[in-house]
Chains A and B, each alone.
Chain A
Amino acid sequence: MLAFIIRRFLFLIFVLFGVSVLIFGILMTFSPERRAAAYVTTPQQAKDIPRLIKQFGLDEPFYIQYIRWIKEISQGNMGWSLVAARPVREAFWRYFPVTLEMNLFAAPIVIIFGIWLGTISGIHRDTWLDHTTRIFAIVGWSLPTFLFALVLLMVFYGYFQWFSPGVLSDDLTMFILDNPERFTRYTGLYTIDGILNGNFDLALDGLRHLVLPVMTYVIVVVALNMRVMRSGMIEELAKDYVITARAKGANKRTIHIKHARRNALLPVVTVAGQLVALSMEGSVAVEVVFNRQGIGWWLAESATQLDMPVLMCICLFMGIVFVITNLTLDILYAYIDPRIRLS
């Protein structure tokens, strides 16, 4: 097992190298003028584009620019983010916790809720229950996230005024600013930092600000998990071992939960793993509508403004996330299905 993990981590180096060359190569297809234009916003500033090209060596050959970038990265310098007005590394640790916090709450719900709905739907195939959950899944999957988020915001913030956008209320933000000695930023996740600082009001306020984003994300994403689970259940329930178990008079619950569901879980684990990995790059629509500046928002802004260091950083980060996710999934397969051996 250990050798397998080491091998996968060595593989990670090649993946990151490939990703970096690919992304760097794509960005190099933009002319030096276009890349220098990232530093200007107004026609007044545009006169400095030729000088910016010289200053940053944007007209030098690809390999020189790539090596220079690699050198900087190896020294821990990820570059400067124009969008965040901060070094990329610093900005990353500002925005990532916002995305992570939402995922920490959303991912378990997506997985558990998806498995639960898929199981029910598969067991009660072609009944009203199955139809209802399938409609729910189709509507959730096909509804534009942006629209759904806006509807939730209008109802729960605009009308009821229960949940406001942002990550924390103004009074608690001011409390943190006024009392820096009473709040330490351990993780950047307000729900967790609130608890660690013994300030439960703050944790609950952070949680309150998570309700709508989590709800939106869950309803939109759970459908895929649910459908995979449903198909798996239907397939498993039609197999011989289930028929045999039924013929022998085994308990229905035991057949469904202990036998069929366990076997149907394998593809769900794959899908759920990929969903969790994908969610690490954030949801642009959710973050924009609910005013949570996380990785998704940052990535979208950086892409439109051609903020190259950020694009490179997030691509590398996602490379790492996917390699680690796949590794975790491989280990999980072996746990769920002992027939699968990592060797």
Chain B
Amino acid sequence: MKRVSIFLCVFFLFFLLAGNLYAAEVKNPDTFILANYGNLRTLDPCVAYDVTSSQRLWNIYEPLIFFDGPYTDKFKPLLTTEVPSLENGGISQDGKTYTFTIRKGVTFHEGGDLTPEDVVYSFKRNMIADPDGGPMWMLLEALTGEGSTRDKDGKIIEGIFDTIDKCVEAKGDKVIIHLPRAYPPLLGILGYSSSVILDKEWAISKGCWDGDIKNAAKYNNPAPGHEPLLKIANGTNAYRMKSWEPNKEFVFERFDGYWGPKPRLKTAIVKYVKEWSTRKLMLQNGDADRVRVDNPYVPEVKAMKGLKLYEVPQLSVTAAFFCQKIYPTGNPNIGSGKLDGNGIPPDFFADINVRKAFLHAFDRATYKKDVFNDLVIMPSSPNIEGLPYHKDVPVYEFDLEKSASYMKKAWGGEVWEKGFKMIITYNTGNEMREAAAMMLAENVMSLNPKFNIEVRNVEWKDYLVKYRNFEFPLFLIGWGADYADPHNFMYTFMHSQGVYGRYMAYKNDEVDRLCEAGIQTIEPKKRDEIYTNLQNLWYTEAIAVPLYQQIVVRAYRDWVKGYVANPMLTDANEMLMDIWKE
């Protein structure tokens, strides 16, 4: 027994000794450490469609242009010498031709020189690959007029590769992009991580499209894990990939051959740290220079010393959408499926009075204060603050009397008389949406004892499937900007074929016409008029309940300098070029 005791004591002492001997920390001033928890899926620009992958790509590769400082609609030239505009002739008067002069003296990390052919190849290669679930629909929609290289059954659209081949060309030191129709958000799309520039020879040597358009089909839609640039990268930006250990850490190192000003940080490490307490302690101990802070933990970082906090409004918005054509068969969310007090009919929300009643039952002021501690923007329409042509249109103020009067009018008075029963769902774990669902349910139920609303949670992946199957009478979901243009939001939320418009089964010919006109118009004044009309229609049509536009708090150690907030760059992003430690 004594021997065992001695063994155990020695064992623990050894551990403690090991701890004490090596407790000294080296906090390198030229190394930046970010503790985050996003899964990095891929380094292939044609597949990457999440904020974590974009962060890596934006620091390794460069697009032709990028967001200028805090602006979402102003750009700075990167691999082009000038941002094209109508004024400088880079954009043709009809808005269908864009000309870029390619910068000289730019080298890739692996040694190749940037040429206009690299630019042309990069656009074509990414569009040809166009994997399912990827970001290439944006460039395809703008450059070819099609949102995909394949039809609904997955078959390649006839002639699509020839269209891709013709839409972009190199002439001397210039790259010219031809559009089938004017597409005002193009510059924003060209700044996205799917528009970064590859080295043609290097990409071909790694198994990407061989440059022959006849072979394009072979390279179309690679299965997950089969994209050639999954774990390798060769860009022109100031940082190169040093190592990537999935779900552990990603290490950047400075690229000394960078064409622009030399970045101050030598190394940057993005660590995967799932648990908030661990991230918080890392920040507190100086082992991380910045950690990701989710909304509920903001008060904790506000109480910490030695930090510099930035409040950054995000270009994303969440709303509660009324489905006007709910799937009726065996759907528990609508009870009996009839207006008999034990359910709702599938077209319950087709009556604008019901929608207005719900809108007046949402207490925006309390929601803002109680759920977000006032750290949020309460949107009035999907064209949120930070987007061009944003207007503060009227909102339905919290007024239970008005709500009741609309309910009394709804369905010829039947709703008030018979009552109803339904279920509101939110995705599991999203406390902000849960609070909104609870508030709506409680306030509407307070109008009439015959109103019965239950709130339930559904796993996110199930939620994505079920709202598309028209199973939810009211679904709470958000949208983050793909590019900073109202089209990305207004079409999505209001057009009968938009991602949410379609699943609300909402159709208004005037709205559809304006959405289509908005994307085809290049003159800013006219666009302003169109999107102002749409924002007003959002109010008068009572399409959905706009819930919140989040403000993210970024917590840096106070020795980190140079961060510039840009709403297009989400919380997962960190532009290493801009920052340094001092």
Interface of A toward B, CB cutoff 8 Å = 31, 33-34, 37-52, 54-56, 80, 82-87, 91, 94, 109, 112-113, 116, 119-120, 150, 153-154, 156-158, 161-167, 169-171, 173-174, 177, 201, 204-205, 207-208, 210-211, 214-215, 253, 257, 288-291, 293, 297-298, 301, 304-306
Contact = CB atoms under 8 A, between A and B. Distances in A.
Interface stretch (B35-43, B192-200, B350-358, B572-580): B35-43
A157 B284 CA distance: 10
B369 interface: no
Contacts of A157: 281, 285
Given A177-B243, A297-B247, 17 more contacts: A43-B464, A44-B482, A46-B465, A48-B132, A52-B133, A85-B225, A91-B246, A112-B4, A150-B277, A162-B23, A164-B285, A169-B25, A208-B18, A208-B22, A214-B15, A215-B15, A253-B1
Given A43-B477, A205-B22, A116 B1 contact: yes
Contacts of A306: 461
Nearest to B285: A161
18 contacts: A34-B461, A34-B462, A37-B462, A37-B464, A39-B224, A43-B477, A46-B468, A46-B499, A157-B281, A158-B284, A162-B20, A163-B19, A166-B271, A204-B18, A211-B18, A290-B278, A291-B275, A291-B278
A49 to B, nearest CB: 7
B19 A162 contact: yes
B223 interface: yes
A41 B477 CA distance: 13
Interface in B452-474: 459, 461-462, 464-465, 468-469
B275 A288 contact: yes
A287 B273 CA distance: 10
B303 interface: no
Contacts of B285: 157-158, 161, 164
Contact of A85 (B16, B246, B479, B482): B246
A157 B23 CA distance: 10
A194 B6 CA distance: 26
B499 A43 contact: yes
Interface stretch (B107-115, B146-154, B520-528): B146-154
Closest 5 CB pairs of A and B: A80-B225, A48-B132, A37-B461, A45-B133, A33-B465
Nearest to A174: B267
Contacts of B18: 204, 207-208, 211
B255 to A, nearest CB: 16
Contact of A119 (B1, B26, B42, B246): B1
A289 B275 contact: yes
Contacts of A257: 1
B251 interface: yes
Interface string B491-528: 00000000110000000000000000000000000000
B273 A38 contact: no
Contacts of A33: 465, 468-469
B304 to A, nearest CB: 12
Contacts of A47: 499
A126 to B, nearest CB: 19
Given A51-B150, A158-B281, A306-B461, A85 B230 contact: yes
Contacts of A94: 245-246
A252 to B, nearest CB: 11
Given A85-B40, A170-B31, A207-B15, A38 B461 contact: yes
A211 B230 contact: no
Nearest to A164: B287
Nearest to B281: A158
Contacts of A44: 49, 479, 482, 499
Contacts of A205: 22
Given A158-B281, A164-B287, A171 B22 contact: no
A129 to B, nearest CB: 12
B179 interface: no
A208 B1 contact: no
B475 to A, nearest CB: 10
A204 B21 contact: yes
B465 A37 contact: yes
Contacts of B278: 153, 165, 289-291
Contacts of A31: 465
B19 to A, nearest CB: 5
Given A150-B277, A170-B269, A211-B15, A116 B4 contact: yes
Contacts of B247: 83-85, 293, 297-298, 301
A109 B8 contact: yes
A52 B134 CA distance: 12
A39 B8 contact: no
A112 B80 CA distance: 68
Contact of A161 (B1, B25, B42): B25
B251 A177 contact: yes
A288 B274 contact: yes
Residue of B4, B40, B132, B277 ringed by the most chain A CB atoms within 10 A: B132
Contacts of A204: 18, 21-22
Nearest to B39: A83
B479 A165 contact: no
B561 interface: no
Nearest to B251: A177
A112 B7 contact: yes
Given A42-B49, A171-B26, A85 B41 contact: yes
A82 B53 CA distance: 13
Given A82-B41, A291-B275, A116 B5 contact: yes
B18 to A, nearest CB: 5
Contact of A86 (B246, B461, B477): B246
B50 interface: yes
Nearest to A257: B1
Interface in B153-210: 153-154
A116 B8 contact: yes
Residue of A37, A44, A214 ringed by the most chain B CB atoms within 10 A: A44
B248 interface: yes
Contacts of B25: 161, 164, 169
Contacts of B499: 43-44, 46-47
A215 B1 CA distance: 21
A301 B26 CA distance: 32
Given A40-B133, A40-B464, A84 B225 contact: no
A115 B300 CA distance: 43
A167 B118 CA distance: 41
Interface in B241-294: 242-243, 245-249, 251, 267, 269, 271-275, 277-278, 281-282, 284-285, 287
A289 B287 CA distance: 16
Contacts of B145: none
B232 to A, nearest CB: 13
B19 A208 contact: yes
Contacts of A298: 247
B228 interface: no
A291 B274 contact: yes
Given A163-B19, A201-B22, A291-B274, A45 B49 contact: yes
